[in-house]
Structure 1
Amino acid sequence: MRLMPISTARPGMRLAKKIFSEEGLVLLAENVELDARMIRRLTDCGISYIYIKDPRLEDTVIPDIVSEDTMRNALKEIRQSFRQMMDRPNGRRGVTYPYISKSYYNMMNMVIDDLTAHEDAMIMLMNLNSVDHYLYQHSLNVCVYTTLLGIAEGYSRDELRVLGMGAALHDIGKSKIPADVLKKPGKLSNDEYELMKLHAEIGYRMLKDEPNMPLLVAHCAFQHHERLDGSGYPRGISGNEIHDYAKWIGLVDSYDAMTTKRIYRAAMLPHQAIELMYAGSGTLYEQRMVQQFRDKVAIYPIGLTVQMNSGESGVVVDINSACPHRPIIRVLEEGGSVVPSPYEVDLSKQLSTMIVGVNNEIIEAV
């Protein structure tokens, strides 16, 4: 299978991975033949990339870092909890409003079990096969990516649960931001931006008194937009004043926002987002954390079409976990001509060969 921009999809192509609806139901099944109406609908739903079947890549496997069951259950939990918290009158709590801590503990156990079952799991793009509300899908992505980084850091299971809950709920305050501001297709005005920035403090206040919810989860919501050099918000704290959990969440939050299609801009690919993360290394983000993040990200995801300085082009078919920016490529073309017998190039062994383009767009090598 290969990963391709929805803009290049054509009628007659067949899906290689299912597309899920907002409620976790299968919207389009694997192997379905796309027509013009389906492609338009996927585009309108915010899908940027899709997996397409290619007979030359039948043996290519795209690993899911969490199972479909975990994804559906977690999205359902996040969706329900955000809506429950949204409906609570400000300043009031009572037995009529269900507490969310127990269900989040259960959700995090499922996520941690899935991630720890795959020692070499890499951060893969997760928002490709779901048309769920951006806020819910983003919250799940940040939860999964951050938990995976926590595992790499050697955090205990209890620590991972708190970190993951903080990541899943970091944007809960946005449930109280007016929809016309939250979903505005253009640039926010100064007043709208100041209103949007309130979501960090709102989230903290929503979570800090939640029964059985660790206070650190609330602080993750409060601090995830703080930055190393003090340029963040809401308090402008810096350095060690920011909890490490919030630093991880802030880093991942930025990455997922960049790699997700928004109303006002297209999605970046991982290698583009990582370059921007490095630009903020040492000022916005801890340099060590950026490096750890890069080492766990599949910069060139499996299925992606790439061009090399050798004149060869092909599709990423595997990731070298020790060197993720040097994947294994199945060459399909040489000098623009289709090769009769595709062959593989391991960039971790052929160091003079570099990726210079993605989807026929020239890039600087990462």
Structure 2
Amino acid sequence: MRLVSTMLLQDGVELAKPIYDNSGRILVQRNVKLTSTMVRRLKTSGITYVYIRDKYTEDILVTPAIPDEERMEAVNKIKKSFQSIKKEDIKKGSHLLDKSSEQLNDVVKGLVENLLDQDEVMHYLSDLLIVDNYVFHHSVNVTIYTLALARQLKFNRKEMQVIGLGALLHDIGKIYIPPEILNKDSKLNDTEFKIIKAHTEYGFELLRKSLTLPLLAAHCAFQHHERLDGSGYPRGLVSDNIHPYAKILGIADVFDAVTSNRVYRAAMLPHKGLEILSSGAGRQFDANLVNLFKKTVSIYPNGITVHLNDGRTGVVTKQNVHSHDRPIVRVLQEDNHPVQPYDLDLSIDPDALIIGADNAQ
């Protein structure tokens, strides 16, 4: 299978992976051949890319870090918990959150178990879904990235459980942000941005008052927008004043935010998201954590089309664990002319370099 921009889709192509609606229901099933009507619907729904089948990439596997069904179940559980307290004040909301704590712990425990069974590098792209209910999907995605980085840092299960809860609930304060601001499809003005920033304090107060959730979860919610150079919020903390868990969470949060579909822009592909993190390494983000994160998430996931410096174009077929930026590529074109496909291992060809990848925008 390979990844294709919806802008390039043609009638009759066959889906290799399902597409979900915002409630986790399958919008278009795998193996379906797309009609012109379906292609138009995908474009207007905000879907930027899809996985398709073709004879040249049939053997390429794209395995999610967490099985689709389990991830969608986690999304629906966090959605139910958030919505149960949405209309309550913080004190009563904390009480209702306590009633959900066992279920939330089970969600994190399930994600931990799945990740511990995976390879060390996650071959993962954000869900192929429309942009509604972003907060719930984002919460689960950030938890997956956070736990993957925690595993690389050799966290034990107890530590992974705590930071996982912090990640799962890091944006819970957004339930108190007016939806017209939260879902605005254009740039926020200063007043609106000030309101958005308050979600960190709402989340902290909500989690701090919980009798069953770890206090560190509250600090994750409070500090995940803090940056090493003091440019973050809500308190402008610097360097060592930021909790280590919040530093990890901040990286996962930014990466998922830029690689997910949003109401105001299309998703970036992973290599672009990692470029953003790299540009802030040592200034906004801990450089060691950024470098470790780059080894945790595939820079060029399986199925993505890449362009080489010598005019060749191909599709990533497999990752090289010890050379994260040099995967195995199935070459399909040379100087824009189709060729008999062959596999090229970039880890043993030092002259061949990836200079670009097809973006879904």
Pairs aligned (count): 360
Change (3 A) 1:44 1:205: farther
1:103 maps to what in 2?
103
SS in 2 for 1:4: strand
1:364 maps to what in 2?
none
Return the offset for 1:167.
Answer: 0.8
Given residue 351 of structure 2, which amino acid in structure 1 is its aligned partner?
S
SS in 1 for 2:56: helix
Return the offset for 1:4.
Answer: 1.2
Return the offset for 1:42.
Answer: 2.3
The 5-angstrom pairing of residues 86-97 of structure 1 reads 86-92=86-92
2:36 maps to what in 1?
36
2:348 maps to what in 1?
349
TM-score by length of 1: 0.94
**Mapped partners of 1:265, 1:95: distance in 2:** 36
2:226/2:242 contact within 8 Å kept: yes
**Mapped partners of 1:325, 1:3: distance in 2:** 18
1:181 maps to what in 2?
181
1:6 maps to what in 2?
6
1:306 maps to what in 2?
306
**Structure of higher RCO (CA pairs closer than 8 Å, 6+ residues apart):** 2
Matched, 1:120 2:148: no
Return the offset for 1:357.
Answer: 2.5
Change (3 A) 1:94 1:106: closer
1:166 maps to what in 2?
166
**Mapped partners of 2:213, 2:253: distance in 1:** 21
Given residue 119 of structure 1, which amino acid in structure 2 is its aligned partner?
D
Render the CA deviation track for 1:51-108: whole Å, top value 9, x for unaligned. 0111111111101111123212211111111111212234335877762211111111
Return the offset for 1:39.
Answer: 2.1
Return the offset for 1:182.
Answer: 0.5
**Mapped partners of 2:156, 2:95: distance in 1:** 32
Return the offset for 1:291.
Answer: 0.4
SS in 2 for 1:47: coil
1:123/1:296 contact within 8 Å kept: no
Change (3 A) 1:45 1:332: same
1:307/1:360 contact within 8 Å kept: no
2:247 maps to what in 1?
247
Return the offset for 1:121.
Answer: 3.6
1:259 maps to what in 2?
259
**Mapped partners of 2:150, 2:42: distance in 1:** 33
The 5-angstrom pairing of residues 122-141 of structure 1 reads 122=122, 124-129=124-129, 133-141=133-141
Unpaired runs of 5+ residues, structure 1, are: 362-366
Change (3 A) 1:96 1:140: closer
Query: Deviation above 4 Å: which 4+ runs of structure 1?
Result: 93-98, 129-132
Change (3 A) 1:347 1:118: same
Render the CA deviation track for 1:120-179: whole Å, top value 9, x for unaligned. 242521323566521111111100011011011000101101111111111111111001
1:115/1:121 contact within 8 Å kept: no
1:311/1:334 contact within 8 Å kept: yes
